[in-house]
Structure 1
Amino acid sequence: MSEQQFTEQDWRRLLVSLGENPDRAGLVETPSRLVTAWKHWTSGYTQDPAELLKVFEDGAEEYNELIVIRGIPVYSHCEHHLAPFFGKATIGYVPNGKIVGLSKLTRLVNCFSRRLQVQERLTIQIANALMTNLEPKAVGVVIRCRHMCMESRGISTEGEETVTSSMLGELQPNLALRTEFLDLARGA
């Protein structure tokens, strides 16, 4: 992504185009806040997923079962309307001699969700980054999100949840392993 960011003047122009007065007391600091907020909300463009995934060989030598982390927060903005979508991610993998620091999986989700996204791509990016950088036997990612572009405009239906998944490696052909992952993802 370009180094160019929206400036306070850009946000002031947006407020004017909406019919607002950017000099009104409640809006005077809004352009500055928006610059800061959007830098944070799009900070994933400046992160390299490979650098986030600290890999350990110690402790994984004989471990060959699923490792699953549930409830990872997802906060992103859809690329179609710039509306927020949010929910939870579950990531699981079967190590192949290496494990990753558990907090790094949350950082990986943040890296990709802090970009303009569609949930389908977000799910695949997380799974592919794990397969590429950790080289496990299997990776599974399930993301459940609510999309404000559906809830606050258009169809205006509250509370609907979109669920996406990506299964790579042994999770594709191995039905028993796939079922185990999905059961763990659901909390069963």
Structure 2
Amino acid sequence: MTEIDRPRIEAAVAEILAAIGEDPARPGLQGTPSHVADAYAEFFSGLGRDAAEDLGEPVPLEEGRTAETVIVRDIEFRSVCEHHLLPFLGVAHVAYLPGEKVVGLGRIPRVIETLSARPQIQERLTEQIADTIESGAQARGVLVVLDAVHACVTTRGARQTSSTTVTMAARGAYTDPTVRAELIALIGRGTE
């Protein structure tokens, strides 16, 4: 895991406050540089970490057994847009078709947590989750759908407060449009 440089972050935040015309020494702002450094340590804790390690060691299925689709819905995540350093928050839905092994269900949210704890764009995050699960779980198919609200869309520019962004990545058996449509329908049932 990459360690952040707290003194540099604190100095940079103090400089930003001064640059916008604020007094970083003002009582309400004195602790702000330290608070921002704490937040950044958490927001970017995925830097330098291998998300595949979060999957652990896949567990072999009994000989001659196969597993059908596994879907984990409504996994909450948060990340920080690399363009504006503003947060985006949402839910992830992951479906995978195991090969000869399966992974623990709690491992999938860990992968998402690690990959989202970096300066990101949603499109790349979606692809990284799919790639990590496909290779780390030795899956025959993977579908990842992210639905997120971006502060850079809701609080600045167009200010579309009800807008969400949906991204999708499919791998292996789930690149077939018919199969993908069936999975999306199953994912959607969780939101009713």
TM-score, normalised via structure 2 length: 0.90
Give 2:11's aligned amino acid.
Q
Aligned residues: 187
1:107 matched to 2:82? The reply is no
Q: Which runs of 4+ in 1 moved over 6 A?
A: none
The 3-state SS of whatever aligns with 1:136 is coil
Assess if the C-alpha contact under 8 Å between 2:2 and 2:48 holds in 1: no
1:92 matched to 2:95? The reply is yes
Q: Which residue of 1 aligns with 2:188?
A: 186
Q: Which residue of 2 aligns with 1:149?
A: 152
Give 2:150's aligned amino acid.
H
Matches within 5 A, 1:64-83: 64-83=67-86
Q: State the shift of 1:46 in Å.
A: 2.6
Q: Which runs of 5+ in 2 are unaligned?
A: none
Assess if the C-alpha contact under 8 Å between 1:60 and 1:98 holds in 2: no
1:127 matched to 2:130? The reply is yes
Q: Distance in 1 between matches of 2:156 and 2:10?
A: 27
Q: State the shift of 1:59 in Å.
A: 6.2
Q: Distance in 2 between matches of 1:76 and 1:170?
A: 29
46-55 or 136-145, which moves further after superposition? Answer: 46-55
Q: Distance in 1 between matches of 2:94 and 2:68?
A: 14
Q: Which residue of 2 aligns with 1:27?
A: 29
Q: Which residue of 2 aligns with 1:11?
A: 13
Q: Which runs of 5+ in 1 are unaligned?
A: none
77-86 or 1-10, which moves further after superposition? Answer: 1-10
Q: Which of 147, 171, 181 is 2:174 aligned to? A: 171
Identity of aligned residues (%): 35
The 3-state SS of whatever aligns with 2:80 is strand
Deviations 1:113-160 (A, max 9, x none): 111111110000000011111111110000000111111000011110
The 3-state SS of whatever aligns with 2:100 is coil
RMSD of aligned residue pairs (Cα, Å): 1.9
Assess if the C-alpha contact under 8 Å between 1:60 and 1:95 holds in 2: no
Q: 1:131 to 1:61 in 2, by over 3 A?
A: farther
Q: Distance in 2 between matches of 1:52 and 1:124?
A: 17
